[in-house]
Chains A and B, each alone.
Chain A
């Protein structure tokens, strides 16, 4: 006999099943990840081409480039994994399902974060090779991890709005990029500091606390305001 579940545990069951569903879809189609990865490679090559006259310059801007690549590729991933629900009208099924809508938000944040983190694994590898800087250091990975959470938390919220507007994909970067800049700025500064020859831990620590604060604040706002975006 099945035990009656508490509200919290059924909330998380719902969240994990949506995350699992997204991962399974990605496993079958491989659309989101491949688009993000290919796009990142194009961006990296484009920038190298722009900076090719000066290798030192390329190395200097490599952290900024890493973050720029992540947020640009991230918009593709966000658009993809949220519009897929609209195209197939599965969002309606999700909304009808007896699931707390805040759970849908959390699930989307988790699954897009997983996609973006996987992309970052590849990017860290690529950037370490191309720019000869230790991007694989634990502190740098922590900054990447925390930064991604905040970025995706804001991204899922904004994308949920933009895919319901007339201009759809076009609007997302305009709305999202300025909103996440206060997060990307300390993240890029911290990453640059970590991979530099003499990292100043003060800067890194204060940046990490800023990023964590941003994560929590945006997650909280998103968690409580997402239900207002999917009313039908």
Chain B
């Protein structure tokens, strides 16, 4: 993608993302009903799930970009993988922070070492270490290769952990596709999401949030890619200047 087209895309996406964030905040506070058992606190749920969704998408994008890099080693795949992991890590942090704020009223504790929360910590550590790996390699081509392999291994590891937490009982309920666990959660009197979600307005608010967070992700990703391309350009220009000075 050339720079002018990228610049235009970034501007459009920025505006779209900002507007969609306003819309989703409007939905959360004005449209969504007050949840039965937890009251207004439950409104955090929309940010929590929205950002969690984007987090997983971002790491999946990084996986695909990593695989593509190994297949055809081109700089842009590495840039996409790097940008996506970076943005994904931010979203993962927001998810955890929002979850923690919600956990205090729901479980009466900020943090619980349940399998699911442990998994999030692991995922966070795995992807934070990605930057340490990159930082330790100077050669650009080698860095791209190693980072690509690492991002594939880490995704596989996280997916397996994700499968495993479905097996164990957890204090944290499952929103997407896990009736058993959320039923257990409700039964334990911990949370009351399953029947709440059945309400249409909550579902719509959640969908709006997921869409708008996806847009924000896309905007941030493009901004980050653009930043990386500018950085690369600066490096090339610097090298040219240095070569010229040495030659002259």
The residues of A with any CB-CB pair to B shorter than 8 Å are: 154, 157-158, 161-162, 164-167, 171, 174-175, 177-183, 185-186, 189, 206, 210, 213-214, 217-218, 221-222, 225, 228-229, 231
Contact = CB atoms under 8 A, between A and B. Distances in A.
Nearest to A165: B136
A103 to B, nearest CB: 18
Given A210-B163, A210-B164, A161 B149 contact: yes
B138 interface: yes
A85 to B, nearest CB: 17
Question: What is the predominant secondary structure among interface residues of chain B facing chain A?
Answer: helix
B181 to A, nearest CB: 14
B83 to A, nearest CB: 20
A171 B154 contact: no
B156 A161 contact: no
5 contacts: A157-B149, A181-B118, A189-B168, A214-B157, A217-B160
A182 B136 contact: no
A175 B133 CA distance: 8
B86 to A, nearest CB: 17
Nearest to B118: A185
A217 B156 contact: yes
B167 A225 contact: no
B129 A182 contact: no
Given A161-B150, A229-B149, 7 more contacts: A158-B153, A171-B132, A171-B133, A174-B129, A178-B125, A182-B122, A185-B115
A154 B157 contact: yes
A213 B157 CA distance: 10
Q: Which of B118, B145, B149, B167 has the most CB of A within 10 A?
A: B149
Contacts of A183: 157, 160
Contacts of B70: 225, 228
Contacts of B136: 162, 165-167, 171
Interface string B129-154: 10011001110001001101110111
A231 B133 contact: no
A165 B156 CA distance: 23
B82 to A, nearest CB: 16
B126 interface: yes
Contact of A175 (B119, B145, B150, B168): B150
